[in-house]
């Protein structure tokens, strides 16, 4: 009787066949894992969007709607009507403010050499990430002080600039094309520090950063935004006093603003914090600017979308600015644009997976 195990039925488990089986198993496992992740993500989004907690619902909706790239997530399980109901009253774009300059007394400052933000164009330079600066840098005698800021769920940094006349706006050579990375603006103007500033046209998070939102004023000249509409304005006059509020470009020029951008909302005006109902927001990376009564400028960045720091709300920014003595303060562009650089070192963690973004404006320090 023949041994059946020795009979060749035409089947051979060749190396190629074994490789094929392994590949099929791998992709089956991968698809399964991805499917489980998609189900988990969709379930999480559903719970946040439709779940029993109105607070979690509002934070989720406002957080994603503040982000160009993932704003669509709010629409997966919610209609536009539901989203409008959740978001409620628009932020304070239409609220008029008039900065009381008598509340700010700028100390006598040393003469500074004017620096144009539109010097000769330089090539876009790839910058490698560098180690963050020390957590708490004491004032070194150069009029700058960096302080670490910690709160419930967030971590950030406050740069205090004692002389407001050192702060100016950096821009690309021309608007309408691509923006410029913050490091390149700093290098071109020989600034010692800077943060991102105004907003820009950014459809689905794919904007190149060359088309500003609102207006841009540099060296007392209106470089962008000559229309008659009212926008949120954040800028310094010739005396180094920070003005924040909603106004037209004509009104901004009549105030004698020398360096200005647009974003918002206004957080603190003439020592009074904005009504919480008008500055409701989600949790995201944030950038903000403020000024103390002695004229010192407060430049703030808060990390977000990180394990060590989820992000901050507008209310968090108000609390931080008040703690640092701000008389006036405003929110700047945040999200993946939020970045602070000092002495060509990255201070905070950039939230963009592709690295620092190209932007249209920055507040720089001479």
Q: Rounded to whole angstroms, how far apart are CA atoms 177 and 355?
A: 20
- Cβ-based neighbour number of residue 141 at 10 Å: 6
pLDDT of residue 257: 97
pLDDT of residue 175: 92
Going through the chain in order, the beta strands assigned E by DSSP cover 144-151, 154-161, 167-170, 180-181, 193-196, 216-218, 221-224, 231-237, 242-247, 257-262, 266-269, 272-273, 286-292, 297-302, 326-332, 340-342, 345-346, 358-359, 362-365
pLDDT of residue 231: 92
| Residue ranges for the chain with pLDDT beneath 70 | 1-13, 41-53, 55-80, 82-97, 108-141
Is residue 92 within 8 Å of 274, Cβ to Cβ? yes
For 41: left if phi > 0, alpha if psi spans -120 to 50, otherwise beta; the answer is alpha
pLDDT of residue 51: 64
pLDDT of residue 322: 97
pLDDT of residue 130: 36
Q: Rounded to whole angstroms, how far apart are CA atoms 1 and 171?
A: 91
Can you tell me whether residue 245 is helix, strand or coil? strand
* Preceding omega of 265 cis (within 30 degrees of 0): yes
pLDDT of residue 176: 87
Check residue 354 and report its DSSP letter.
Answer: T
pLDDT of residue 228: 74
pLDDT of residue 10: 54
Instruction: State both tokens at 212.
Output: 């500003």
pLDDT of residue 89: 54
Residue of 315, 311, 314 whose CA lies nearest to 351: 311
Is residue 232 within 8 Å of 197, Cβ to Cβ? no
Q: Where are the alpha helices (DSSP H) in 233-340?
A: 249-254, 314-323
Can you tell me whether residue 204 is helix, strand or coil? helix
Strand order in the sheet with 231-237: 221-224, 216-218, 257-262, 231-237, 242-247
Q: Rounded to whole angstroms, how far apart are CA atoms 53 and 280?
A: 16
Instruction: State both tokens at 46.
Output: 């559903």
Residue of 363, 252, 364, 241 whose CA lies nearest to 293: 241
First vs last C-alpha separation in the chain: 97
Q: Rounded to whole angstroms, how far apart are CA atoms 366 and 192?
A: 6
Q: Rounded to whole angstroms, how far apart are CA atoms 182 and 288?
A: 16
Q: Rounded to whole angstroms, how far apart are CA atoms 176 and 150?
A: 38
pLDDT of residue 294: 96
pLDDT of residue 220: 97
> pTM for the complete prediction?
0.76
Residue of 273, 270, 302, 262 whose CA lies nearest to 286: 302
pLDDT of residue 206: 74
Instruction: Give the CA distances from residue 38 to residues 29, 30, 144, 204, 248, in Å, rounded to whole numbers and listed in that order.
Output: 14, 12, 47, 21, 46
pLDDT of residue 354: 81
Cβ-based burial of 313 (10 A; exposed 0-12, middle 13-18, buried ≥19): buried
Backbone angles phi, psi at 137, to 5 degrees: -100, 120
């Amino acid at each position: 009787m023949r041994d059946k195990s020795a009979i060749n039925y035409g089947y051979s488990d060749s190396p190629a066949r074994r490789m094929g089986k392994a590949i099929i198993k791998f992709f089956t496992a991968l698809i399964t894992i991805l499917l489980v992740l998609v189900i988990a993500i969709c379930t999480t989004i559903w719970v946040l969007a439709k779940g029993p907690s109105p607070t979690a619902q509002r934070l989720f909706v406002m957080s994603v709607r503040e982000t160009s790239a993932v704003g669509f997530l709010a629409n997966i399980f919610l209609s536009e009507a539901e989203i409008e109901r959740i978001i409620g009253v628009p932020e304070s774009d239409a609220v008029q403010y008039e900065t009381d300059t008598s509340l700010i007394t700028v100390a006598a400052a040393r003469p500074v050499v004017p620096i144009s933000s539109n010097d000769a164009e330089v090539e876009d330079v790839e910058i490698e990430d560098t180690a963050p600066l020390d957590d708490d840098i004491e004032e070194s005698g150069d009029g700058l002080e960096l302080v670490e800021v910690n709160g419930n769920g967030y971590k950030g940094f406050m740069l205090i600039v004692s002389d407001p006349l050192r702060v100016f706006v950096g821009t690309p050579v021309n608007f309408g094309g691509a923006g410029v990375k913050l490091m390149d603006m700093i290098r071109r103007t020989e600034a010692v520090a800077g943060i991102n500033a105004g907003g820009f046209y950014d459809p689905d998070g794919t904007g190149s950063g060359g088309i500003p939102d609102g207006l841009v004023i540099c060296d007392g000249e209106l470089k962008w935004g000559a229309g008659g509409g009212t926008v949120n304005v954040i800028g310094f006059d010739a005396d180094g006093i920070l003005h924040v509020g909603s106004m037209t470009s004509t009104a901004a020029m009549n105030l004698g603003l020398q360096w200005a951008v647009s974003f918002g909302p206004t957080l603190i005006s003439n020592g009074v914090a904005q009504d919480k109902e008008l500055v409701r927001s989600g949790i995201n990376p944030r950038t903000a600017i403020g000024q103390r009564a002695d004229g010192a400028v407060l430049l703030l960045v808060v990390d977000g979308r990180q394990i060590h720091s989820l992000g901050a709300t507008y209310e968090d920014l108000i609390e931080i600015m008040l703690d640092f003595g701000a008389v006036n303060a405003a929110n700047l562009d945040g999200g993946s644009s939020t970045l602070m650089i000092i002495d060509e070192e990255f201070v905070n963690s950039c939230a963009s997976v592709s690295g620092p973004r190209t932007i249209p404006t920055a507040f720089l320090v001479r």
